[in-house]
Chains A and B, each alone.
Chain A
Amino acid sequence: MIELEHIVKSFNADRKDTAIHAVNDVSLTINDGDIFGIIGFSGAGKSTLVRCINLLERPDSGSVRIDGVEMTRLKPKELYKARTKIGMIFQQFNLMPSRTVMQNVAYPLRGMSKEEMKARVRELLALVDIPDKENSYPSELSGGQKQRVAIARALANDPTILLCDEATSALDPQTTGSILQLLKDLNRKLGLTIVVITHEMEVVKNICLKAAVMDAGRVIESGDVFEIFSSPKHPVTRNFVRTTSNLSKIETLIRDKSPIVQLKPGELMARLVYVYADVSEPLISYASRAFDVVINIVLADVEIVAGSMVGGTVVIFSGPRENIDRAIDYYKSKNIRVEVIQDAGPSA
């Protein structure tokens, strides 16, 4: 278990006027076996926070406990030893260019014979699914392969925790997907606790069950990823959720006066947001038939987040006003949030 309590870290702390609070009073608890996401825009302090876990950055104040051990009070030698049990991977992979894949993965191994080392490296490379590259140099590998080697290296000493600092941000979407899948597998196979730092909501959505949202050095929201997605409370979180949702395109369409969103008299455009975990009923076609309105789907975006459905649609209702109102009331009774975007008024 990782327990962070009241972590404060500022840079330029010796000069009060220019001091920057990178992390400002953050408390978080990450349970064993979790895949925990920390999301925020760049400069939010998330990279600094994650470095406080393995003390690559020493917090100005606050406590960092890992499995009950207070990290900030360890002697240097104890800290080096503790770090071998906390793997870390990076956006830029940080493989040593003068060493082969074999030598890179063997870097953190010690107290082993050459043969044992080789066997261990091969085992690790098989685990991350690149068994045939042990004699290549990093410069000969693709981004995804480099990150796999970095993961193998980070796992060399059987850590219980893996910290991922923007580990997929330099990769294309397809490779990102395969690396995330690998992390998920490792979490399941090894019971590894994974902390994922990212500015991409996609990543959190994809693999995390719990997450914290950071802004200006503080955690502004944390909890179940599904909760955060379905009902974001803080404006910054809402912003994040919107960046990943197709539904936000409607604002652009309206601003650009696209013909798709020009309403005729009698029409009403609304956003239907599913905020509960079970959208299995055929809501659109049912309401259309039951209340005799035409419902035209302009945009739709339904996703599986943390195993549940999240999302919504933007639709244009057309028909007699009282029918539209009854359809909207029906949706509300089904726990669907209805936001009217544009209303052309009842037809004459």
Chain B
Amino acid sequence: MQALLPNLMRRLPEFWKACGDTLLMEVWSGAIIFVLGLIFGIILTVTKPGGIMENRPIYQVLDKIINLFRSIPFIILLTALMPLSRAIMGTAIYVRGVIVPLVFGATPFFARQVESALAQTEKGLVEAALSMGSSPFEVIFRVYLRESLAPIIRAITITIISLLGLTAMAGAVGAGGLGDFAIRYGHDRNMQDITWVVVGVLVLGVSVVQWLGEYFARKNTH
């Protein structure tokens, strides 16, 4: 081990902390993104023209805001949102400082994913539920969310994976984590073994998430 990964073995505690930081970023921002994205995705679905709670102004505004944030490259969002981050979280660095830009960067993405997952629900199911006396809220929970569980799980999988990419980028502005670790040692000091191990950890993480997502999605498909 020592011979194979000399630089990594000398920085093991720092490596574990980087892993932990990445996980922390992923979990915190992921939880917030999940809730917000789900809500926005549902609002988009039900307020769009022909939706069960059709509302043009709300749909138009939300639709435009999502497009706006999706068109800003994440690396720019990171720096642009620093003041907001300081205002909300008290800091613009470390794990705490990067939660705000991560949420802004990935929520619109997840909201769109949810919207397209819900769009796979056949209109006929919604119509049948309404004809049986379901209220719009019942339709949201008992038809839309329940019947598109599999595509929503896939949307979560994709979002977690792309969020992992964003957390690595966030490392560049002092958030810590694996991305930061790889850049500081692997790139800046040319410690190749560190780069490779970080890549390996990320590949492993993505694979596990993908496998779990597919497993649960399939379990919910009949």
Give A residues with C-beta under 8 Å from B: 54, 56, 76-77, 80-84, 86-88, 90, 92, 94-99, 107-108, 137-139, 150, 153-154, 156-157, 163
Contact = CB atoms under 8 A, between A and B. Distances in A.
B10 interface: no
Contacts, number: 66
A107 B130 CA distance: 11
A90 B149 CA distance: 24
B129 A84 contact: no
Contacts of A157: 132-133
Given A80-B134, A92-B122, 8 more contacts: A86-B131, A88-B132, A90-B124, A94-B125, A94-B127, A95-B128, A97-B147, A137-B222
B60 interface: no
A83 B138 CA distance: 14
Interface residues of B, number: 21
B63 to A, nearest CB: 19
Contacts of B134: 80, 108
B169 interface: no
Contacts of B122: 92, 94
Given A90-B124, A94-B122, A97-B147, A107 B129 contact: yes
Contacts of A96: 125, 143, 146-147
Interface string B43-61: 0000000000000000000
A107 B135 contact: no
A94 B134 CA distance: 15
B11 interface: no
Contact of B222 (A88, A139, A163): A139
B222 A108 contact: no
A98 B219 CA distance: 10
Nearest to A79: B133
B79 interface: no
B142 interface: yes
B207 interface: no
Contact of A54 (B125, B131, B147, B150): B131
A54 to B, nearest CB: 6
B220 interface: yes
Contacts of B143: 96
Nearest to A108: B132
Interface string B22-45: 000000000000000000000000
